[in-house]
C-alpha cells in the first residue's frame, strides 16, 4: 500500500456516503471502483446521482451478483452498507471451501469477493448495517452476526464493531447503526492489538474514534465454534438474548464484547439548527389547513379493531408521535418513505416561526445525514426520490471519524483532508453540457447551527492569519486547519493542554469568528498546502466553527513580543 493512497472499493454505494466520509477523513482514501444497483427498478436514481457527483470512471451500475471478481480492481479497503437480510446458510461447498447462501443475500457477495481475491484480498474492511444485526433473527438471537464474524475469521480477519447512535456524538440525526471494521491478521493494525479488552475499551480504532464507558457487568466472552453451516443451524439456539454487546471484537473466532455508554461533551447539532429560512421554502412543502387534521390523526395515539386473515378480531394500538417534531433535538431517523405530500406517521413535520406546518426539504434531509447541501439534486431525480435516497443513506460524520482513526492506526500520523464532508462535488460528467441545463438555482442558505455552552473561563488562543491564508479563513465553512509558523516561533509560555478555543486575527479586520480546538498536533505546511513543499515542523490546530461576534473586534497584541499569538480567557473577549 503506497503511503499516499489507500485504494477503496465501495459496494452498495448509494449516493456515496462512504466515499464522502472517507475523503473527509484523509486525502489518502481513493475510491478506485464502486457498485450501485437498485433491484426491481428501472430508474437507477442513486447511480445517476453518484455518477453526477463523482463521475462515471470506475462506476458499476450492475447487479453485484453478476459482477465477476476479476472485474473488481485490487484494493486496500473494501467498504459498504450491505442490506439487512436473512444470512442463514443453505449448504457448505466442501470442494471450494466457499459458502452458498440464500439467493440474493448480498452478504455472501462480499464474502465471495473476499474469498476469490485470495492473496490479494484487501488488508482492511469497513461495513455498516442496521443495529438489529446483532440480535437477529428473533428465533435465534445473534445468529446472523455470528455467521458474519465466523466467515470473516476464516478469511483471516480480526474484526471489531460498535453500535453507534450518531446523535450521541453531536450529529444531527438519531440514527443507530452497526459499524464493522476488520484487519488482516498480519496487517500493521492487527499487530498493534495486545489485549482484546484494552483494544475494545481504550486502544482500538473504534474506541479512539468514539469514546465510551463500559456498562457494569456486561462483559461477554465466548468462542464461535463449528462450520459456518453448524453456526447457522445451532448458534445460541433456544436462548432469548443475543450474547453480543454493542461494542466488541473477534479474533480467531474468540469474542470479547461489552455494552457501551457514549462519552461526549462537545457541540451538538439539532433539527432546528439545520432548517433553511422559511421564506425560501416552496409552497408545496407546507401543509394546508384542510390537510392538517389528517396529519394530526396519523401522528396521534390509536386503538383500532382489526380482523386477522383467519377471521379473529384483535385490537391494534400504537402510541402518539411528536407533532410537530422537536427543533431543539436531533431529528428522528430518516426513513425511505420521508418524501411525498401524503400524511404519514413517520415523516417529519416542523412548525415554522409564522405558525405554519411543513415537511422537510431534500436539502434538510441531506443535512441530517451530513451530506453536502444539494448532493442529490439532479434534473432526473424527483424530490420524493431524493428523500428515499437519504432514507437509505448513512451519517457521513460517523464514517469520517472512523476513517480518521483507521488512517492513524495504519500510518501513525494525523490524517489530512482537502475535502471536508461539507464540500460539494462538481457536477459530472463534464462532456454532457446539457445535463443540468434545466436545474433550478441551487439553494444554499444559512449554514447549520449547533447547540453548545460557551465556557468563559476556558483559554482562548488568538492567532494572526498570514496574508496568503486570509481568504481561506473568510470562507464560511464549518471546519478549518490553522498552522503556526515553524515550531521555534510559537511561544513556549503558552500551555497547549489548556487551550480550548481559537480566534483567527486578520490584519485590518481584527477578530470575529470563534472556533473550538478539536486537535492540537505537530505537522507541516506542506500537508495543508502541498505546493509549498515546506516540511518544517509546525503546530497545527484542527478547528470547528462555533459562532461569530456581531462585529469585528480589535485586540491589542503584546507589543513586547515577536510572536503573533495571544493566550487569554474567552471571557475577556466576550465581556469586553
Q: Of the candidates 252, 260, 227, 230, which has an alpha carbon nearest to the alpha carbon of residue 161?
A: 260
Q: Of the candidates 417, 540, 393, 450, which has an alpha carbon nearest to the alpha carbon of residue 264?
A: 450
Q: Of the candidates 225, 9, 220, 18, which has an alpha carbon nearest to the alpha carbon of residue 134?
A: 220
What does the alpha-carbon distance between residue 36 and residue 52 come to, in Å, rounded to a whole number?
13
Catalytic residue list contains 84 = yes
Block residue for cell numbers 401524503:
342
Catalytic residue (choose from 32, 84, 464, 569):
84
Residues 6+ apart with CB under 8 A from 382: 339
DSSP strand E in 185-324: where? 212-214, 220-223, 247-251, 254-258, 260-262, 268-269, 302-307, 313-318
What does the alpha-carbon distance between residue 290 and residue 97 come to, in Å, rounded to a whole number?
63
Conformational region of residue 226, where left means phi above 0, alpha means psi within -120 to 50, and beta covers everything else: left
DSSP assignment, residue 411?
H
DSSP assignment, residue 203?
I
Element (H, E) at 511: strand 510-524
> What are residue 460's DSSP bridge partners?
501, 568
Contact 374, 13 (CB under 8 A): no
What's the burial of 98, exposed, middle or buried (CB within 10 Å: 0-12/13-18/19+)? middle
What does the alpha-carbon distance between residue 376 and residue 144 come to, in Å, rounded to a whole number?
33
Q: By three-state DSSP, how is residue 173 classified?
A: strand
DSSP strand E in 102-175: where? 124-130, 157-165
Question: Can you say whether the dihedral through the CA atoms of 97, 101, 103, 109 is positive or negative?
Answer: negative
Question: Can you say whether the dihedral through the CA atoms of 265, 266, 267, 268 is positive or negative?
Answer: negative
Which is it for strands 59-60 and 29-35: parallel, antiparallel or unpaired? parallel
Burial 339-357, CB ≥16 within 10 A → b, else e: beeebbeebbbbebeeeeb
Which is it for strands 29-35 and 6-11: parallel, antiparallel or unpaired? parallel
The set of catalytic residues is: 84
Amino acid at each position: 500500500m503506497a503511503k499516499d493512497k489507500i485504494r477503496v472499493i465501495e459496494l452498495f454505494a448509494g449516493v456515496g456516503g462512504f466515499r464522502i466520509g472517507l475523503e473527509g477523513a484523509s486525502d489518502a482514501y481513493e475510491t478506485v471502483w464502486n457498485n450501485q444497483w437498485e433491484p426491481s427498478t428501472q430508474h437507477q436514481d442513486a447511480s445517476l446521482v453518484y455518477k453526477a457527483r463523482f463521475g462515471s470512471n470506475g462506476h458499476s451500475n450492475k447487479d453485484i451478483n453478476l459482477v465477476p471478481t476479476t472485474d473488481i480492481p485490487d484494493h486496500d479497503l473494501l467498504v459498504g452498507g450491505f442490506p439487512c437480510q436473512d444470512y442463514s446458510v443453505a449448504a457448505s461447498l466442501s470442494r471450494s471451501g466457499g459458502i452458498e447462501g440464500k439467493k440474493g443475500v448480498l452478504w455472501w457477495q462480499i464474502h465471495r469477493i473476499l474469498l476469490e481475491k485470495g492473496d490479494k484480498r484487501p488488508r482492511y474492511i469497513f461495513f455498516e448495517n442496521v443495529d438489529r444485526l446483532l440480535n437477529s433473527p428473533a428465533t435465534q438471537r445473534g445468529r446472523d452476526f455470528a455467521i458474519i464474524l465466523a466467515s470473516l475469521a476464516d478469511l483471516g480477519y480480526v474484526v471489531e464493531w460498535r453500535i453507534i447512535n450518531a446523535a450521541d456524538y453531536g450529529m444531527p440525526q438519531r440514527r443507530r447503526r452497526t459499524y464493522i471494521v476488520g484487519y488482516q491478521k498480519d496487517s500493521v493494525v492487527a499487530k498493534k492489538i495486545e489485549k482484546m479488552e484494552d483494544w475494545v475499551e481504550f486502544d482500538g480504532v473504534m474506541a479512539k474514534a468514539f469514546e465510551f464507558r463500559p456498562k457494569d457487568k456486561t462483559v461477554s466472552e465466548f468462542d464461535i465454534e463449528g462450520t459456518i453451516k453448524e453456526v447457522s443451524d445451532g448458534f445460541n439456539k433456544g436462548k432469548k438474548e443475543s450474547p453480543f454487546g454493542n461494542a466488541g471484537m473477534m479474533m480467531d473466532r474468540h469474542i470479547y464484547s461489552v455494552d457501551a455508554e457514549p462519552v461526549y461533551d462537545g457541540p451538538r447539532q439539532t433539527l432546528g439548527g439545520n432548517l433553511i429560512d422559511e421564506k425560501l421554502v416552496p409552497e408545496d412543502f407546507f401543509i394546508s389547513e384542510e390537510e392538517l387534521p389528517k396529519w394530526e390523526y396519523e401522528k396521534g395515539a390509536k386503538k383500532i379493531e382489526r380482523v386477522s386473515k383467519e377471521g379473529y378480531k384483535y385490537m391494534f394500538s400504537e402510541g402518539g408521535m411528536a407533532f410537530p417534531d422537536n427543533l431543539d433535538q436531533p431529528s428522528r431517523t430518516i426513513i425511505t418513505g420521508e418524501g411525498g405530500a401524503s400524511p404519514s406517521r413517520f415523516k417529519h413535520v416542523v412548525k415554522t416561526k409564522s405558525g405554519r406546518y411543513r415537511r422537510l426539504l431534500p436539502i434538510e434531509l441531506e443535512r441530517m445525514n451530513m451530506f453536502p447541501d444539494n448532493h442529490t439534486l439532479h434534473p432526473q431525480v424527483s424530490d420524493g426520490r431524493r428523500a428515499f435516497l437519504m432514507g437509505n443513506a448513512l451519517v457521513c460524520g460517523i464514517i469520517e471519524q472512523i476513517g480518521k482513526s483507521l488512517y492513524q492506526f495504519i500510518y501513525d500520523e494525523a490524517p489530512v483532508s482537502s475535502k471536508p464532508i461539507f464540500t460539494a462535488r462538481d457536477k459530472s460528467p463534464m462532456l454532457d453540457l446539457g445535463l443540468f441545463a434545466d436545474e433550478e438555482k441551487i439553494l444554499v442558505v444559512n449554514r447549520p447551527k449547533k447547540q453548545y455552552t460557551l465556557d468563559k473561563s476556558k483559554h482562548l488562543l488568538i492567532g494572526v492569519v498570514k496574508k496568503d491564508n486570509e481568504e481561506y479563513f473568510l470562507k464560511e465553512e464549518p471546519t478549518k486547519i490553522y498552522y503556526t509558523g515553524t515550531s521555534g516561533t510559537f511561544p513556549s509560555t503558552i500551555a497547549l493542554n489548556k487551550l480550548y478555543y481559537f480566534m483567527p486575527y486578520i490584519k485590518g479586520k481584527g477578530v470575529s469568528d470563534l472556533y473550538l480546538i478539536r486537535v492540537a498536533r505537530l505537522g507541516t505546511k506542506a500537508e495543508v498546502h502541498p505546493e509549498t513543499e515546506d516540511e518544517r515542523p509546525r503546530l497545527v490546530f484542527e478547528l470547528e466553527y462555533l459562532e461569530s461576534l456581531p462585529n469585528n473586534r480589535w485586540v491589542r497584541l503584546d507589543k513586547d513580543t515577536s510572536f503573533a499569538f495571544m493566550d487569554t480567557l474567552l471571557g475577556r473577549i466576550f465581556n469586553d
